[in-house]
Structure 1
Amino acid sequence: MKRDNINALNAPQPRGGYSQAVSIEDFRRVLFVSSQIPVTSDDVVPEGFEAQARQVWLNVDAQLKAAGMSKTDIVKVTTYLADRQHVMENREIRNDYLGSLAPAMTVVITGIFDSAWLMEVEVVAAQ
């Protein structure tokens, strides 16, 4: 698969480990991962934002692996945060998970389905 990160010089430059656009060519398949929630496989919601964010990324990783993919296949991330106060901590934890990978990205501050959850993340991956 050919993948290009695109950041037009005549538009705002990305801040925080993402690309303004990602182009993919010659891919075999695309995987759409539903919003992953901060709940463990035994139905426990971790305490605090950091623990919840790390659990969400563990859940994203589990879905990717179940599909025979990995985080390097992620081309788009959408994050839903329950509160704007978590923006910077979210960025740090996301960057810990993604490393130098810079997918297209959207972060939305919104009400979350369950009031105990502080975030959700959905991804699109391609191989």
Structure 2
Amino acid sequence: MNKEIVYTDQAPAPIGPYSQAVKVNVASPAGMLFVSGQVAIELASQGDIQAETQKVMENIGAILKAAGLDYSNVVKSSIFVKDMNNFAAINEVYGRFFTSEPPARETVEVARLPKDVNVEISVIAVQ
């Protein structure tokens, strides 16, 4: 297995010992990209879950682009939300990025997220 660390300054820098994304089997037509959970720290305290989700999805898009991929390559996503009452609002924004053949997904309510954000999303994409 070979791997490549993917980084872009168009998304937040990691706040710990992890990478924005890791691409594995780079030379293979079936290479995979694992994107770490993305958050919108600067918007979390404003109380607008749709704006926060929009920024998270834009961060993911920037990382996908840095890896030479886009949303159509995403096969799996995980959404972690602080308050499941925000599910419909998050889902509305999320759905704008996956208009056809959306990826497999789970959405989980959690007690707390890093930097006290309200939503965190990670994805797995294939070439």
Fold conserved between structures, TM > 0.5 = yes
Shifted more, 88-97 versus 50-59: the winner is 88-97
Give TM-score scaled by structure 2 length. 0.72
Name the SS for the 1:121 alignment partner: strand
Q: Which residue of structure 1 aligns with residue 70 of structure 2?
A: 70
Note the C-alpha offset of 1:97: 1.3
Alignment partner, residue 102 of structure 1: 102
Q: Which runs of 5+ in 1 are unaligned?
A: 1-25
User: Aligned pairs, how many?
Assistant: 97
Residue of structure 2 equivalent to 1:31: 33
Superposition CA RMSD, Å:
1.5
Q: Which sections of structure 2, spanning at least 5 residues, go unmatched?
A: 1-27
For 1:28, give the aligned amino acid: A
Q: Runs of at least 4 residues of structure 1 off by over 4 A?
A: none
Structure with bigger RCO (C-alpha 8 Å, 6+ apart): 1
The percentage of counterpart residues that share the same residue type is 27
In structure 2, what residue type is equivalent to 1:112? L
> Could you report, residue by residue, the CA deviation over 1:61-106 in whole angstroms, capped at 9, with x for unpaired residues?
0000010000000000000001011011111111111111321101
TM-score by length of 1: 0.72
